[in-house]
Amino acid sequence: LATIVVAVDGPSGSGKSSVSRAVAQRLGLRYLDTGAMYRAVTWWMLHNQVDVHDAAAVAAAADKPELVSGTDPAGPTITVDGIDVAGPIRGAEVTGAVSAVSAVPEIRTRLVALQRAAIGAGGIVVEGRDIGTVVAPDAALKVYLTASEAARAARRNAESDDPAASVTATQADLARRDALDSGRATAPLSMPADGVLVDTTEMDRDQVVEHLLALVGTRA
Ligand code: C5P
């Protein structure tokens, strides 16, 4: 297991983060949340008044944010230019802008390089949209985690600190991001040819974790 790479891809709200963290913890592996990296770069663009819908402006600034991702699954961290952005990257402003920023090829080139450096010799669970297809195509196990849109929206709402958030609005936002993430030209969200599809619509979190641990057992 010391050098295994487990890739976990899938749409928004499929439970990738909590499941990937739990699997990493159970196996003593590191954990990398690549969505947090796209979110942190998006936060930086907003914070520095870069128009996130101006792809050329975003591309020109792609190398500027200094990102550091901590890979301890018990407490993953993310800083940009030394600022802890773990809180603000989950806010509505970043969530609304991240798909536009992550569609810019220069941003992806930069973050994929950082992600490969973080993966290093392996021993890590990596979650995102293009891990099995682009970032780590040689990963020993590639999981594609999904669930019905309604189930994903309900889970997102249950996790949210905003008690007034409506499931309908959450579902609309998920559908919007899925369409952007699946439809973009560079590294769109898609199931890797050799990926294992796991539909979690009818599963609870612990069942998904146990299922993934069993899959790792078949590959390690
Ligand atoms: O996983 P999370 O919802 O935090 O990801 C936020 C956004 O980052 C996604 O909607 C997608 O636009 C982008 N992303 C990506 N490639 C990844 C991970 C995330 O484009 N590997």
Write the pLDDT tens digit of every residue in 20-48. 999 999 999 999 999 999 999 999 999 99
Give nearest CA residue, ligand 1 atom 19: 35
Task: State in Å: Cα 181 to ligand 1 middle.
Answer: 8
Q: How far lies 104's CA from each of 32, 54, 95, 116, 133, in Å?
A: 21, 10, 16, 18, 17
Q: Which amino acid is at 100?
A: A
> Which pLDDT belongs to residue 121?
97
User: Would the CB of 35 count as within 6 Å of ligand 1?
Assistant: yes
Give nearest CA residue, ligand 1 atom 8: 35
Rounded distance between C-alpha atoms, residue 158 and residue 7, angstroms:
26
> Which pLDDT belongs to residue 136?
98
Mean confidence (pLDDT) of the chain: 95
Give nearest CA residue, ligand 1 atom 5: 35
Q: How far lies 59's CA from each of 96, 129, 141, 215, in Å?
A: 18, 20, 32, 38
Q: How far lies 186's CA from each of 113, 137, 177, 216, in Å?
A: 15, 16, 15, 29
Rounded distance between C-alpha atoms, residue 182 and residue 178, angstroms:
6
Q: Which amino acid is at 195?
A: G
Ligand 1 atom with minimal separation from the 177 CA = 10
The answer to whether 64 is a known ligand-binding residue is no
Q: Are 61 and 50 in contact (CB under 8 A)?
A: yes
User: Would the CB of 42 count as within 6 Å of ligand 1?
Assistant: no
pLDDT tens digits, one per residue of 123-165: 999 999 999 999 999 999 999 999 999 999 999 888 877 767 7
Contacts for 136 with CB less than 8 Å, ≥ 6 apart: 5, 7, 116, 119, 126
What mean pLDDT do residues 202-213 have? Answer: 97
Ligand 1 atom with minimal separation from the 9 CA = 21
- Strand pairing of 67-70 and 77-80? antiparallel
The answer to whether 18 is a known ligand-binding residue is yes
> Which pLDDT belongs to residue 163?
66
CB atoms within 10 A of CB 188: 15
What mean pLDDT do residues 175-181 have? Answer: 94
Higher pLDDT, 98 or 158: 98
The alpha carbon dihedral of 75, 81, 84, 87 has a sign of: negative
Q: Are 201 and 208 in contact (CB under 8 A)?
A: no
Question: Is this complex scored with an ipTM above 0.85?
Answer: yes
The answer to whether 183 is a known ligand-binding residue is no
> Which pLDDT belongs to residue 58?
98
Task: State in Å: Cα 156 to ligand 1 middle.
Answer: 15
What mean pLDDT do residues 108-134 have? Answer: 98
> Which pLDDT belongs to residue 164?
74
Based on its alpha-carbon atoms, the radius of gyration of the chain, rounded to whole angstroms, reads 16
